[in-house]
Amino acid sequence: MAVMFIGIWLTGCATHRQANDILVDTRTLKTDNARMRAAIARMDSVIAHSAEADNRLRAEMRTAISDLNNQIAALMQSNSELMIRINECCKEEIRVITASPGAQQSESGTVTRTDNETPSIDCSQTYDDAFILVRQLEYEKAINGFRNFLENCQQHENVPNAHYWIGESYYMLEKFTEAIAEFEVMVRDYKSSPNIDRALYKLARSHEELGHKEKAKKIYQEVVDDHPNTLSAEQARDRLKEL
């Protein structure tokens, strides 16, 4: 009986689709395993007249089951490694979103200011707390937290990202006019930010939600032209097809 071994090379960043495929393959192998065990249970009544054939078939079936078990173990190990890679990728994505080029940060977590004034708050902690509120869907509180951060930490490296997350929070609250104002700050003042393509895309989405279709189309096209190899550009292409 031929048994196909399913191998998976883990290259780059794994995706949830790959992980799901492995789980499907694992369930399939387990089903085949169970069927073979059932077949062994029925053999006594089917081929009881031939002890020699019975023993030979039992040996073949046990070998096949052993091979399947080994494949299941290998697949489960691959699945575990994929999950580790997925978690690493998610952490990296959050790191990119929450960090951008800017002012240097001191070891204490407060920003280095050019006017020799000491911030009245721990800037990094204030930013992180506001970011956590975004993840907890506490958008109003997040906006207040980022506003506090911007008021006290104007030289901090995460100032552009604070504007982005304020805009994102307004967008999630369906306050599209306010969202536009924040995303326009990003587009105007922080063109080198790693999040500029996201800001442009959400700026276009906000205009689309307000019925400004021509304005939205223009910005979507800007995303496609200026940031062609990003997820934002892919999403912008999809929106252009709908408009």
Residue 190: what pLDDT?
A: 93
Please tell me the least confidently modeled range out of 38-47, 102-111, 175-184.
102-111
Rounded to the nearest 5°, which phi and psi values hold at 97?
Answer: -65, -35
Residue 76: what pLDDT?
A: 57
Residue 221: what pLDDT?
A: 95
Task: Kindly state the greatest CA–CA separation across the chain.
Answer: 97
The residue among 54 and 146 whose pLDDT is bigger is: 146
Of 198, 190, 191, nearest to 156 by C-alpha is: 190
| Tokens matching residue 97 | 């979103």
Confidence of residue 157 (pLDDT cuts 50, 70, 90): very high
Between the CA of residue 13 and those of 77, 160, 227, 235, what are the distances in Å?
Answer: 17, 27, 21, 20
Q: Please provide the average confidence, as pLDDT, over all residues in the chain.
A: 74
**Three-state secondary structure along the chain?**
CCCCCCCCCCCCCCCHHHHHHHHHHHHHHHHHHHHHHHHHHHHHHHCCCCHHHHHHHHHHHHHHHHHHHHHHHHHHHHHHHHHHHHHHHHHHHHHHHHCCCCCCECCCCCECCCCCCCCCCCHHHHHHHHHHHHHCCCHHHHHHHHHHHHHHCCCCCCHHHHHHHHHHHHHHCCCHHHHHHHHHHHHHHCCCCCCHHHHHHHHHHHHHHCCCHHHHHHHHHHHHHHCCCCHHHHHHHHHHHHC
Distance separating alpha carbons of residues 131 and 98, to the nearest angstrom: 8
DSSP-assigned beta bridge partners for residue 105? 111
